[in-house]
């Protein structure tokens, strides 16, 4: 049965723009934007700024050469906007922009069709093209129904406070994984997804190998909410598929998988992107709860409360994405939990058409909604295939063409990318080019294979400094990695998400050797997410005075947190077991590295890990070294600074000295 109240099309026409614009990869010579419209829009891009020569303006018609209209539903068109500029734009000053829409002989701008994207008093959104990568925001893991504030809304408040200080604005926002949770979907979100699919006419598909014939049957099936695992086909590997794609395995060390609403179809994943990036789609639907038993109804109500709070902050999140260039890379939840964790996992997942389709649909949606905007030049052939698939599907995608596209995506090796900034920014693909264990197929694969790591080394040669984005930390919490190793040796890597750089000997040795190479940068900053807590380490090679300096900086999650009691326990045990004098350090693969944690200045005594949703900020000096590492907390509390222990001690002594001096002055006045 449908779960939404139909909106009369005559009285409730669709708006022209459903989501966006999102600013993606921007440079003085080229602007990349992403937008979704209800039909192929006739747009012009207007730019305006004030420079040494006075006010300047440009108007660029977004014709077929500058805007690719890609249809994904009856009333849903992706607008992939790519504008090369013959005259470079100025840097380090605000540049206002508008997307002017021609409709019925009238022209309207963002202030007309998306006023929520404007700051108070502004007529248009703006951006700043920074001449140096000296200031950036970063984070990962944004789960809509997690009961906390949204870190992207915090980005908006930060930008609002810097409107009069463009030189202090971040150069970009780096999202390092789990921008959507395709495998962990709240019941109310799945209901909203289905309502939006119907409202926009997002294309359906056939489902080979499933117990439902196609997407239409899936959406109305009584088991589609909270019980999708029961729709899997009955064959000898059913239990393995249930465990991997529908949360059948409990994970007692960290958390319990909650994937019984795992997204399946391409339409479902595309609708999810629209609902997490824009408040507009929520205004087009009227979702109603499905029929559920008492326990599930109670769960549904709790998820609805968290989702309502998420929805209330969506205008701020969308405004942030319209004002700050944003780059992205996937981690596992963008596709499915533990994606490509081991060779055995891949053998199981890609060996059946239904699970292969689940993964492939998430990859198609990622390519369209995230990957293309990072590096459009490598997606020409894939976009052509997608255009062919969606050109005239008569409501349902061609099954053979869809499978062929998925085959190409699974072979695609250009998800990673590099920006020629100062310092250079290199974003790693740690999911699809894995170093597989050929002897023990169930052992965790290396996060990058030998060939991919060799390419990384070539990109780093003769650079003075580099910012490397690795979704999983290269230098993580040793105790947690040790627990993961124990479970791996016991044959249960899936129970503890045993995915870290040190889990595979070959990958670990190569990445550490790259840091030690004499022609690679003197200063490395590694930005990571994934783990649902935040920390910062200073790393140096032991016994080498002139060796490179490395900073591991992790910010996670944007809207997710680690179980607080468990994290405190891990933090305390890690300090005890892996203190600088502990012999356990010599059992790790990083024994030739000196890893010194920074202290969250607002943490309790001895804490090294910070648990709280928000967004990280990195400030770099002229040599590419951190001069400030902050975590802006989504709950509105003061930002947390990660400082060296000596700095914290000095600040404490200064505070004590100030208190003592105040007390002395009070005594002298009394006397």
Under the banding of pLDDT at 50, 70 and 90, the label for residue 593 is confident
Beta bridge partners of 37: 17, 77
Residue 195 three-state SS: helix
- C-alpha 459: how far from chain center: 23
pTM (2 d.p.)? 0.92
> Structure tokens of 351?
């060996």
How far is the C-alpha of 341 from the C-alpha of 484, rounded, in Å?
Answer: 13
How far is the C-alpha of 205 from the C-alpha of 639, rounded, in Å?
Answer: 46
pLDDT score at 253: 27
The answer to whether 184 touches 333, Cβ cutoff 8 Å, is yes
How far is the C-alpha of 479 from the C-alpha of 571, rounded, in Å?
Answer: 8
Name the least confident of 13-27, 124-138, 640-654: 640-654
Taking phi over 0 as left and psi of -120 to 50 as alpha, with beta for the rest, 104 belongs to left
Q: Percentage of the chain with pLDDT > 90?
A: 72
The answer to whether 426 touches 467, Cβ cutoff 8 Å, is yes
How far is the C-alpha of 246 from the C-alpha of 283, rounded, in Å?
Answer: 30
Residue 629: cis peptide before it, omega within 30 degrees of 0:
no
Name the least confident of 24-38, 237-251, 254-268, 447-461: 237-251
Which burial class, exposed, middle or buried, applies to 47 when counting CB atoms under 10 A from its CB (0-12, 13-18, 19+)? buried
Write down the mean pLDDT value for the chain.
89
pLDDT score at 648: 65
Taking phi over 0 as left and psi of -120 to 50 as alpha, with beta for the rest, 181 belongs to beta
pLDDT score at 585: 76
Which burial class, exposed, middle or buried, applies to 588 when counting CB atoms under 10 A from its CB (0-12, 13-18, 19+)? middle
CA-to-CA dists, residue 178 to 61, 432, 454, 530, 600, angstroms: 34, 15, 26, 8, 24
Q: Percentage of the chain with pLDDT > 70?
A: 89
Question: How many Cβ atoms sit within 10 Å of the Cβ of residue 18?
Answer: 23
pLDDT score at 334: 97
Which of 17-21, 244-248, 258-262 has the highest mean predicted lDDT (pLDDT)?
Answer: 17-21
Q: Quick one: average pLDDT of 83-106?
A: 95
How far is the C-alpha of 308 from the C-alpha of 331, rounded, in Å?
Answer: 26
pLDDT surpasses 60 at 454: yes
Name the more confident of 465 and 443: 465
pLDDT digits (tens, 9 = 90+) for 134-144: 999 999 999 99
How far is the C-alpha of 263 from the C-alpha of 298, rounded, in Å?
Answer: 22
pLDDT score at 629: 98
pLDDT score at 229: 83
Under the banding of pLDDT at 50, 70 and 90, the label for residue 300 is very high
Of 29, 33, 45, 157, which Cα lies nearest the Cα of 87?
Answer: 29
If you ran DSSP here, which 8-state letter would residue 280 be given? T
Of 506, 514, 438, 428, which Cα lies nearest the Cα of 472?
Answer: 428
Residue 216: cis peptide before it, omega within 30 degrees of 0:
no
The H or E element spanning position 57 is strand 54-62
pLDDT score at 659: 55
Question: How many Cβ atoms sit within 10 Å of the Cβ of residue 292?
Answer: 16
How far is the C-alpha of 272 from the C-alpha of 193, rounded, in Å?
Answer: 6
pLDDT score at 2: 40
Q: Quick one: average pLDDT of 584-602?
A: 84
Residue 61: cis peptide before it, omega within 30 degrees of 0:
no
> Structure tokens of 120?
């108070």
Residues 6 or more apart whose Cβ sits within 8 Å of residue 391: 71
If you ran DSSP here, which 8-state letter would residue 89 be given? P
pLDDT surpasses 80 at 480: no
- C-alpha 643: how far from chain center: 26
pLDDT digits (tens, 9 = 90+) for 195-220: 999 999 999 999 998 889 999 999 99
Under the banding of pLDDT at 50, 70 and 90, the label for residue 500 is confident
How far is the C-alpha of 122 from the C-alpha of 140, rounded, in Å?
Answer: 29
pLDDT score at 7: 45
Name the least confident of 5-19, 189-203, 212-226, 280-294: 5-19
pLDDT surpasses 50 at 4: no
pLDDT surpasses 50 at 8: no
How far is the C-alpha of 477 from the C-alpha of 292, rounded, in Å?
Answer: 41
Name the least confident of 18-22, 52-56, 91-95, 167-171: 52-56
CA-to-CA dists, residue 154 to 157, 282, 314, 405, 557, angstroms: 5, 21, 11, 38, 13
pLDDT digits (tens, 9 = 90+) for 382-410: 999 999 998 877 889 999 999 999 999 99
């Amino acid at each position: 049965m449908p779960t939404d109240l139909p909106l009369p099309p005559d009285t409730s026409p669709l708006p022209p723009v459903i989501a966006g614009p999102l600013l993606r990869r921007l440079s003085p010579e080229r602007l990349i934007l992403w937008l979704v419209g209800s039909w192929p829009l006739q747009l012009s891009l207007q730019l305006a700024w004030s420079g040494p020569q006075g006010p300047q303006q440009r108007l660029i018609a977004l014709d077929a050469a500058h805007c690719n209209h890609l249809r994904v539903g009856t009333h849903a068109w992706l607008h992939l906007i790519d504008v090369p500029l013959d005259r470079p734009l100025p840097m380090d000053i605000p540049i206002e922009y508008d997307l002017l829409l021609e409709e019925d002989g009238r022209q309207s701008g963002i202030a007309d069709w998306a006023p929520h994207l404007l700051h108070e008093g502004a007529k248009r959104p703006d951006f700043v093209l920074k001449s140096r990568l000296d200031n950036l925001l970063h984070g990962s893991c944004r789960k809509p129904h997690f009961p906390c504030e949204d870190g992207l809304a915090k980005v908006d408040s930060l930008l609002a406070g810097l409107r009069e200080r463009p030189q202090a604005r971040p150069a970009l926002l780096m999202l390092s994984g789990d921008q959507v949770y395709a495998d962990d979907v709240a019941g109310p979100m799945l209901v909203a997804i289905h309502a939006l699919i119907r409202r926009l006419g997002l294309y359906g598909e056939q489902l080979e190998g499933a117990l439902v014939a196609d997407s239409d049957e899936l959406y109305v099936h009584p088991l589609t909410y909270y019980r999708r695992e029961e729709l899997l086909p009955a064959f000898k590997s059913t239990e393995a598929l249930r465990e991997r794609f529908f949360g059948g395995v409990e994970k007692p060390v960290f958390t319990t998988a909650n994937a019984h609403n795992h997204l399946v179809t391409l339409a479902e994943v595309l609708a999810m992107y629209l609902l997490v990036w824009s408040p507009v789609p929520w205004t087009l639907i009227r979702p109603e709860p499905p029929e559920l038993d008492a326990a599930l109804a109670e769960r549904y109500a709790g998820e609805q409360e968290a989702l309502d709070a998420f929805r209330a902050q969506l205008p701020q999140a969308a405004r942030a994405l319209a004002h700050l260039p944003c780059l992205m890379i996937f981690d596992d939840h963008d596709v499915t939990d533990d994606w490509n964790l081991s060779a055995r996992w891949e053998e199981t997942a890609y060996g059946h058409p239904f699970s292969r389709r689940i993964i492939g649909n998430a990859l198609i949606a990622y390519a369209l909604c995230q990957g293309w905007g990072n590096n459009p030049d490598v997606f020409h052939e894939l976009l052509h295939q997608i255009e062919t698939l969606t050109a005239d599907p008569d409501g349902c995608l061609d099954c053979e063409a869809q499978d062929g596209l998925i085959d190409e995506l699974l072979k695609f090796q250009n998800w990673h990318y590099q920006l020629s900034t100062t310092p250079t920014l290199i974003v790693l693909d740690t999911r699809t080019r894995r170093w597989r264990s050929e002897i023990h197929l169930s052992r965790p694969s290396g996060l990058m294979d030998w060939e991919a790591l060799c390419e990384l080394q070539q990109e780093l040669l003769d650079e003075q400094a580099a910012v490397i984005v690795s979704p999983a930390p290269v230098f993580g919490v040793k105790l947690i990695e040790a627990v993961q190793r124990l479970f791996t040796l016991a044959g249960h890597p899936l129970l503890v998400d045993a995915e870290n750089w040190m889990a595979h000997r070959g990958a670990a040795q190569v990445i550490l050797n790259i840091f030690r190479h004499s022609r690679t940068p003197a200063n490395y900053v590694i930005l990571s997410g994934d783990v649902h807590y935040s920390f910062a380490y200073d790393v140096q090679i032991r016994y080498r005075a002139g060796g490179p300096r490395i900073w591991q900086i992790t910010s996670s999650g944007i809207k997710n947190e680690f179980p607080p009691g468990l994290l405190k326990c891990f933090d305390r045990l890690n300090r005890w077991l892996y203190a600088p004098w502990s012999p356990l350090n010599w059992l790790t693969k990083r024994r030739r590295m000196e890893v010194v944690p920074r202290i969250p200045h607002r943490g309790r005594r001895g804490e090294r890990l910070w648990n709280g949703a928000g967004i990280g900020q990195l400030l770099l000096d002229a040599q590419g070294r951190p001069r400030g590492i902050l975590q802006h907390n989504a709950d509105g509390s003061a930002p947390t600074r990660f400082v060296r222990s000596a700095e914290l001690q000095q600040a404490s002594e200064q505070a004590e000295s100030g208190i003592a001096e105040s007390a002395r002055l009070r005594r002298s006045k009394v006397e």
